[in-house]
């Protein structure tokens, strides 16, 4: 198919689809079963690229497939149009982010249309429209009412380049996910969503997605939530009121605790240091300054040499009254558990590294291997922590010698009442003892943190909250939404650490509704992940100005049957959308708790094994390929390039091969339509078999997302058509027509313009996109046949052509039904039947 012809078909059929709203989803009265297919909506950050070409091709294939299966399909599109790229681009050009955003949207929209994606264009949404973001504000108020939105001051991730805070999820390897700048910590008061309240449900419900989501993504979500089960243990501190609580997953090892470590940047560390000597205070201060410059990644890195300072304070081990020296060290994090640990160097690698670095005692309490017979000695140390016993006398397996902590299972030793128990039983027993003594209790901990949603940027949803002069916080009443973004006139958007909205005086200064008391608007905007956490519901009633989404439509359409997008969203977006879905469920607005029933992650389009990027200058441009080869060839080439989830190297993508294939398919339809009538009975059996095998296999191929195999099979069928026309019975053979029609209805998934054209050439009304696929004829699916001799008393009466894999019973029934056999058996008594499928049936008869 040459580019010019492709262009002509694109224009023709795209106009037809637009005028007829061919892909508009059916309304409430439509009785067909429903499918909701969604591709993650794009950022309007420039032209469409090959990643888009791949992503929206796959969702289009799935959407088109379900229409062919007689479903009412919803396949909408919108734009995730708030966010930093627009704002940064606007700052660079001194322009309004609105302009840049809506220009890009228009461009991307045109791109999708010329690519022939079967979207329902009546439902387009943009998150930066006030008709959309007012519902973000509504959602915020609902979360606030339920105690799920709150403000707190805490150290937050701060990107010094973008001058804004970042959610934990937006910090990748210690750097800003967007710009790559090293993230630092800053103490700020910010709005949070209490996602941790949902930690257990977010974790447990992943089990119901097993088999429907990529396993890798489920595992990433599990690790992100990071539930640990263990105990909180209270330690008294000498010379101090109250207790210090530590979280431990190994309360069984309490007898092996030989020191305590607190996070240097915790309030507790400062307090303990303050109660110590001048010298300790100074050393602690120096250390703290150094720690504050260290990134979280470095702090958690296992190979970094351990650092710390002794605080000259002591904790008392609740199980044996031993004095444990307290250290401040940066491998303990302030915001995990209680920011303090009981150190058990024999059985925890980090603690062992620390003990070896600072000559602290190591006491084995779990006998983890057979050769260790419980005799591992405790190392006695003097006041300075120097071992009294020479190291040489220790067992070779001793962790102090090997440097390897004994983390495995084993029998408890040196642990009083716990001696002899296995690790698991000892943990349970230790918790019982702690609870009985009132010095501890079972506890759970999560890696997951609450979702920080405040952003000090302009291009986002204003947080609908007011601050009065005496520091009170008042929500904007629901009926006053939206709180609109002000015009950028006179505003300096450049990042400066506080929201540019704070400088919009006439916007920010307002009064409390009802009382008239002066108040300031919250100047921050919401993380754009709030926008994308519920957009899938907005598509169901995108024009409603009374509700965020129509609950009846949600009952009809949601949850989403197939969600398609990049694995880069494996954690943040999916986790937030799952969280908000559960909140909406708890509010009684929807009747499901997981938004995405199945998830497909596509691979990347790469070039010579490398990721394409503007900076590397190795971009293959979507628009250029589209112009050069046409939408269908590009689509076929991408679909054919390999399995959905694999990365596709552009080297292996053959747009010219796809062009030739499409030309052949079209020519087959033309040949059929111009064939001179000839009378046929039956038609070419070989061709019919290929056609019907494809009819039988295609649904499973699509459902298993084996789109490349489907394209290969279509190519095979087109070649078989050509062979039958040229070397066989010619284009008037009904088997040729049947095959050409089958190609048209299936090709619609990948090459919809060519498919419509073929369908029309074959004499049918458009649109082929709405034609239900034929059923395969089971008789034509029988692959190999065998010849069966049917005998009566050893004499062959007839032969039958039967499926090679036929069973004995079925073969006997076929033989009995045969006319000649019936005649030979007539009036005789059958005494025995011998069946050897598929070759022989022998009736032994009397009389």
Residues that bind ligand ANZ (CB under 6 A): 228, 247-250, 253, 263, 332-333, 336-337, 339, 341-342, 344, 347-348, 445
Q: Using CB atoms within 10 A of its CB, is residue 789 exposed (0-12), middle (13-18) or buried (19+)?
A: middle
For the bound state, the minimum distance from the C-beta of residue 575 to ligand ANZ, rounded and expressed in Å, comes to 19
By beta-carbon proximity to ligand ANZ, the closer residue of 5 and 249 is 249
Q: How many of the other CB atoms lie within 10 Å of CB of 154?
A: 16
Closest distance to ligand ANZ from the beta carbon of 578 (Å):
22
- Other CB atoms within 10 A of residue 356 CB: 16
Please name which of 359, 327, 364 lies closest in space to residue 342, comparing C-alpha atoms.
327
Residue 306 CB, shortest distance to ligand ANZ, in Å, is: 12
* Residue at token pair 């589209």: 626
Q: Which residues contact 186 (CB under 8 A, 6 or more apart)?
A: 155, 156, 158, 165
Nearer CB in complex with ligand ANZ: 440/464: 440
User: Annotated binding residue at 216?
Assistant: no
Q: Is 364 exposed, middle or buried (0-12, 13-18, 19+ CB in 10 A)?
A: buried
Is the CB of residue 440 less than 8 Å from the CB of residue 232? yes
CB of 304 to ligand ANZ, least distance (A): 14
Nearer to ligand ANZ, 346 or 749 (CB): 346
Rounded CA separation 465/473 (Å): 7
- Give the nearer residue to ligand ANZ in terms of CB position, either 15 or 447: 447
Q: Strands 562-566 and 454-455, how do they pair? A: unpaired
CA distances from 45 to 62, 88, 535, 565 (A): 26, 11, 18, 17
Virtual torsion, Cα 17, 20, 21, 23, nearest 10 deg = -60
Structure tokens at 635: 């689509």
On whether the CB atoms of residues 282 and 290 are closer than 8 A, the answer is no
Output 351 or 671, the one with its CB closest to ligand ANZ. 351
Cα distances (angstroms) measured from residue 487 to each of 125, 127, 143, 491: 21, 17, 28, 8
Shortest Cβ 228–ligand ANZ spacing (Å)? 3
Among all chains, which residue has been given the structure tokens 């880069």?
568
Cis, peptide link before residue 559, omega less than 30° from 0: yes
Length of the chain: 847
d(C-alpha 508, C-alpha 516), whole Å:
15
For ligand ANZ, which is the closer residue by CB, 222 or 706?
222
Q: How far is the CB of 449 from ligand ANZ (least distance, A)?
A: 13
Evaluate whether 594 touches 638 at the Cβ level (below 8 Å).
no
When the beta carbons of 347 and 411 are compared against ligand ANZ, the nearer one is: 347
| DSSP letter (8 states) at residue 306 | P
Looking at the Cβ atoms of 81 and 253, the one nearer to ligand ANZ is 253
Q: How far is the CB of 227 from ligand ANZ (least distance, A)?
A: 8
Question: Please, which residue, 70 or 403, has the CB nearer to ligand ANZ?
Answer: 403
We find the least distance from the C-beta atom of residue 219 to ligand ANZ, in angstroms, to be 16
Distance in Å, CB of 154 to ligand ANZ, minimum: 15
- Please state the residue numbers annotated as binding site for ATP: 614
- Please state the residue numbers annotated as binding site: 614
């Amino acid at each position: 198919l040459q580019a010019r012809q492709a262009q002509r078909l694109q224009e023709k059929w795209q106009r037809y689809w637009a005028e007829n709203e061919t892909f508009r989803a059916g309304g409430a009265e439509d009785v067909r079963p429903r499918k909701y297919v969604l591709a993650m909506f794009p950022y309007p950050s420039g032209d469409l690229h090959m990643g888009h070409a791949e992503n929206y091709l796959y969702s289009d294939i799935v959407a088109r497939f379900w229409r062919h299966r007689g479903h009412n399909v919803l396949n909408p599109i919108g734009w995730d149009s708030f966010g930093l790229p627009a704002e940064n681009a606007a700052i660079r050009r001194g322009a309004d982010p609105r302009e840049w955003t809506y220009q890009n949207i228009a461009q991307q929209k045109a791109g999708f249309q010329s690519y022939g994606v079967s979207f329902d264009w009546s439902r387009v949404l943009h998150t930066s429209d006030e008709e959309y973001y007012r519902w973000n504000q509504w959602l915020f108020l609902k979360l606030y009412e339920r105690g799920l939105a709150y403000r707190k001051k805490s150290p937050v991730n701060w990107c010094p380049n973008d001058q804004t805070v970042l959610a934990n999820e937006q910090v990748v390897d210690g750097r800003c996910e967007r710009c790559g700048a090293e993230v630092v910590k800053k103490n700020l008061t910010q709005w949070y969503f209490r996602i941790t309240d949902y930690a257990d449900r977010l974790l447990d419900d992943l089990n119901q997605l097993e088999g429907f989501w990529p396993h890798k993504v489920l595992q990433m979500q599990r690790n992100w939530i990071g539930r640990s089960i263990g105990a909180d243990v209270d330690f008294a501190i000498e010379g101090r009121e109250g207790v210090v609580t530590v979280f431990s997953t190994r309360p069984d090892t309490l007898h092996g605790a030989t020191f305590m470590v607190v996070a240097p940047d915790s309030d507790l560390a400062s307090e303990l240091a303050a109660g110590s000597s001048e010298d300790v205070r100074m050393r602690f201060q120096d250390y703290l300054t150094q720690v504050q410059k260290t990134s979280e990644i470095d702090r958690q890195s296992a190979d970094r040499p351990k650092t710390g300072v002794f605080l000259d304070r002591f904790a008392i081990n609740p199980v044996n009254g031993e004095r444990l020296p307290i250290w401040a060290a940066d491998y303990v994090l302030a915001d995990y558990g209680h920011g303090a640990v009981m150190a058990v160097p024999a059985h925890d690698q980090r603690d062992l590294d620390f003990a070896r670095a600072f000559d602290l005692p190591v006491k084995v309490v779990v006998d983890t291997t057979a050769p260790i017979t419980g005799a591992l000695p405790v190392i006695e140390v003097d006041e300075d922590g120097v071992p009294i016993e020479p190291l040489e006398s220790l067992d070779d397996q001793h962790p102090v010698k090997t440097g390897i902590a004994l983390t495995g299972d084993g029998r408890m030793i040196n642990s009083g009442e716990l001696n002899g128990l296995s690790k698991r039983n000892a943990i349970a027993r230790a918790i019982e003892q702690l609870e009985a003594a009132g010095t501890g209790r079972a506890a759970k901990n999560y890696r997951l943190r609450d979702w920080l949603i405040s952003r000090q940027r302009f291009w986002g949803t204003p947080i609908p909250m007011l601050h009065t002069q005496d520091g009170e916080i008042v929500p904007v009443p629901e009926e006053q939404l939206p709180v609109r973004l002000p015009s950028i006139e006179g505003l300096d958007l450049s990042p400066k650490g506080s929201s540019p909205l704070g400088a919009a005086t006439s916007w920010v200064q307002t009064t409390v509704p009802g009382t008239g008391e002066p108040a300031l608007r919250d100047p921050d905007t919401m993380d754009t992940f709030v926008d994308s956490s519920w957009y899938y519901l907005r598509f169901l009633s995108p024009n409603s100005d009374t509700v965020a989404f129509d609950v009846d439509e949600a009952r009809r359409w949601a949850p989403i049957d197939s969600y398609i997008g990049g694995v880069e969203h494996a954690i943040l977006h999916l986790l937030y959308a799952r969280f908000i879905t559960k909140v909406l469920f708890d509010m009684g607005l929807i009747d499901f708790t997981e938004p995405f029933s199945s998830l497909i992650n596509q691979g990347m389009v790469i070039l010579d094994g490398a990721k394409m990027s503007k900076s590397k200058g190795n971009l293959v441009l979507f628009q250029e390929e589209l112009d050069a080869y046409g939408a269908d060839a590009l689509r076929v080439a991408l679909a054919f390039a390999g399995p959905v989830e694999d990365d596709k190297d552009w080297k292996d993508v053959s747009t010219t091969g796809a062009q030739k294939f499409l030309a052949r398919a079209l020519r087959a339809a033309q040949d059929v339509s111009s064939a001179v009538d000839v009378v046929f009975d039956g038609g070419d059996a070989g061709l019919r078999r290929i056609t019907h095998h494809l009819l039988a296999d295609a649904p499973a191929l699509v459902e298993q997302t084996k789109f490349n195999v489907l394209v290969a099979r279509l190519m095979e069928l087109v070649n078989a058509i050509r062979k039958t026309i040229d070397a066989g019975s010619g284009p008037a053979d009904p088997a040729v027509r049947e095959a050409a029609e089958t190609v048209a209805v299936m090709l619609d998934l990948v090459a919809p313009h060519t498919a419509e054209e073929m369908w029309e050439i074959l004499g049918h009304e458009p649109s082929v996109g709405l034609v239900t696929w034929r059923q395969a004829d089971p008789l034509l699916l029988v692959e190999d046949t065998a010849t069966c001799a049917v005998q009566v008393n050893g004499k062959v009466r007839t032969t039958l052509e039967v499926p090679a894999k036929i069973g004995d019973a079925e073969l006997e029934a076929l033989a009995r039904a045969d006319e000649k056999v019936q005649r030979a058996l007539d009036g005789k008594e059958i005494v025995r039947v011998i069946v050897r499928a598929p070759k022989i049936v022998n009736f032994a008869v009397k009389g």
